[in-house]
């Protein structure tokens, strides 16, 4: 068989098969993903994902920015979970600096991170169900997502590109009614999940489309570097929130849903369970949130409050110096990984002692998870490709960076 290249070549020797181009503009690829499918009738013989359409060179751009200027760029990598990206980057720089974050800042981070996870899973659930043909769920999911985006707007002034987490804490104390608004949302959310599940979990059309489709074994999940719900649905019980706690996750009690089946339906169940667990974590965060500052007391790194900056000479000087010159970060390297809604989101940062990072590398979960697609689809029906893409929950901005 001829080797498959990114430019499709039809081989006359294998005239039973046809190479079909799926994407880059295809409604079910969730972005600009191009798949080359070699099909024999309705069966996929070979598949090759072709990516890079959204590559913007963020890693290169980071090398020309001050450390604090990288934060807004991390939002744009995975645009469905900006706060998770912010957190992964900030934790890495804080580890380089040896900076401790006050408890209130950590709890706010955990709470917002879980809300982001809910937000991301809602988009996944809506679009995944729509791919299968269940339009209603999409509208229900985006109804709740709208409430979440309003909450993000309340804390950061932005609906999607929040940049709310900063090196040394969060940017400002949230508005006074914020926690009440989160509570209102969170208290009503479990019944909303019941609503989605009522539409899908026992729905015979949905179940028949998903059960036994896109199988991924435990060995393949490990060998292909899959992480997150994709891996947990194949029986690998790893969740970095529990296994390598960061940002105070050790103070929260939650279950890690897993499954040993490894098909698309198992991944659906795992993610829906995660929605419930996230809701529980937000509830605990609301109940136990401590009082105190939201930013670390490190005047050379953390921007002073506006009020102080306008009234105190020293604060003004620090503000000016951080904005114009940045801050030096001690030499060294760190790899800081957190559990994003899609899997292991890792930042590898090398510092050469100056105010700009020498190298920033993002280990994005979607990029690694995309590799399992081939395993899931080859030898299966072409209609199942759509279900399989939805089930690994990739974000193309995260794949290409």
Partner 1 sequence: MALAPAITDLEQLKDHAEVARLLAWKATAVEGGKFDRGELSIHVERTVLREACIILKNDPALQYDSLSDITCVDWLPLAPRFEMIYHLFSTPTKKRVRLKVRLQEADASLDSLTPIWPGADFFEREVFDLFGVRFDEHPNLKRIMMPDNWEGHPLRKDYPVEGYR
Site for partner 1, rule CB under 8 A: 5-7, 51-52, 55, 57, 59-60, 64, 95-96, 98-100, 222-226, 236-238, 243-244, 330, 332-335, 337, 344, 346, 348, 350, 358-359, 361, 363, 367-368, 370-371, 400
Closest distance to partner 1 from the beta carbon of 116 (Å): 22
Contact of 332 with 208, CB cutoff 8 Å = no
| Residue placing its CB nearer to partner 1 in the complex, 67 or 206 | 67
| Residue placing its CB nearer to partner 1 in the complex, 334 or 382 | 334
Interatomic CA distance for residues 311 and 3, integer angstroms: 68
Contact of 49 with 35, CB cutoff 8 Å = yes
Interatomic CA distance for residues 30 and 8, integer angstroms: 22
| Residue placing its CB nearer to partner 1 in the complex, 127 or 230 | 230
| Residue placing its CB nearer to partner 1 in the complex, 144 or 344 | 344
| Residue placing its CB nearer to partner 1 in the complex, 19 or 272 | 19
Q: What single DSSP character describes residue 233?
A: T
Interatomic CA distance for residues 299 and 322, integer angstroms: 9
Q: Find residue 363's DSSP bridge partners.
A: 346
Count the alpha carbons within 13 Å of 36 in the hemisphere toward its beta carbon.
15
Q: Which whole-number Å values give the CA distances from 258 to 209, 328, 340, in the listed order?
A: 21, 43, 16
Contact of 38 with 19, CB cutoff 8 Å = yes
SS3 167: coil
Interatomic CA distance for residues 348 and 361, integer angstroms: 5
Interatomic CA distance for residues 6 and 3, integer angstroms: 10
| Residue placing its CB nearer to partner 1 in the complex, 5 or 311 | 5
Closest distance to partner 1 from the beta carbon of 121 (Å): 23
Closest distance to partner 1 from the beta carbon of 238 (Å): 5
The pair of structure tokens assigned to 28 is 């079910």
Tokens 């294998």 belong to residue? 14
Closest distance to partner 1 from the beta carbon of 17 (Å): 19
| Residue placing its CB nearer to partner 1 in the complex, 76 or 359 | 359
């Amino acid at each position: 068989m001829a080797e498959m290249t990114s430019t499709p070549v039809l081989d006359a020797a294998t005239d039973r098969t046809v190479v079909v181009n799926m994407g880059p503009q295809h409604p079910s690829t969730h972005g600009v993903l191009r798949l080359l499918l070699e099909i024999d009738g309705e069966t996929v013989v070979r598949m090759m994902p072709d990516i890079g359409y959204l590559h913007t060179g963020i890693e290169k751009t980071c090398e020309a920015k001050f450390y604090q200027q990288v934060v807004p760029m991390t939002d744009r990598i995975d645009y469905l979970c900006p706060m998770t990206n912010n957190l992964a980057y900030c934790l890495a720089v804080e580890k380089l600096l040896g900076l401790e974050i006050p408890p209130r800042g950590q709890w706010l981070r955990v709470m917002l991170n879980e809300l982001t996870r809910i937000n991301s899973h809602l988009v996944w659930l809506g679009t995944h169900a729509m791919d299968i043909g269940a339009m209603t769920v999409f509208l229900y999911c985006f109804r709740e997502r709208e409430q979440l985006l309003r909450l993000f707007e309340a804390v950061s002034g932005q609906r999607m590109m929040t940049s709310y987490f900063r090196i040394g804490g969060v940017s400002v104390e949230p508005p006074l009614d914020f926690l009440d608004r989160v509570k209102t949302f969170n208290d009503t959310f479990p019944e909303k999940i019941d609503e989605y599940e009522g539409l899908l979990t026992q729905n015979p059309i949905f179940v028949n489309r998903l059960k036994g489709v896109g199988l991924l074994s435990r060995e393949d999940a490990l060998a292909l570097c899959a992480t997150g719900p994709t891996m947990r649905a194949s029986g690998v019980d790893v969740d970095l929130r529990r296994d390598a706690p960061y940002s105070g996750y050790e103070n929260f009690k939650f279950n890690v849903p897993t499954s040993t089946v490894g098909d698309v339906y198992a991944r659906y169940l795992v993610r829906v369970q995660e929605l419930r667990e996230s809701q529980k974590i937000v509830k605990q965060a609301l109940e136990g949130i401590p009082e105190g500052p939201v930013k670390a007391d490190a005047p050379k790194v953390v921007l002073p409050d506006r009020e102080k900056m306008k009234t105190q000479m020293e604060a003004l000087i620090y503000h000016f110096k951080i904005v114009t010159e940045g801050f030096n970060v001690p030499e060294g390297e760190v790899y800081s990984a957190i559990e994003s809604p899609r899997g292991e989101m890792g930042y590898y940062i090398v510092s050469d002692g100056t105010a700009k990072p020498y190298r920033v590398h993002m280990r994005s979960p979607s990029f690694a998870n995309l590799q399992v697609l081939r395993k899931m689809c080859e030898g299966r029906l072409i209609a199942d490709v759509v279900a399989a893409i939805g089930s690994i929950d990739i974000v193309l901005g995260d794949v290409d960076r």
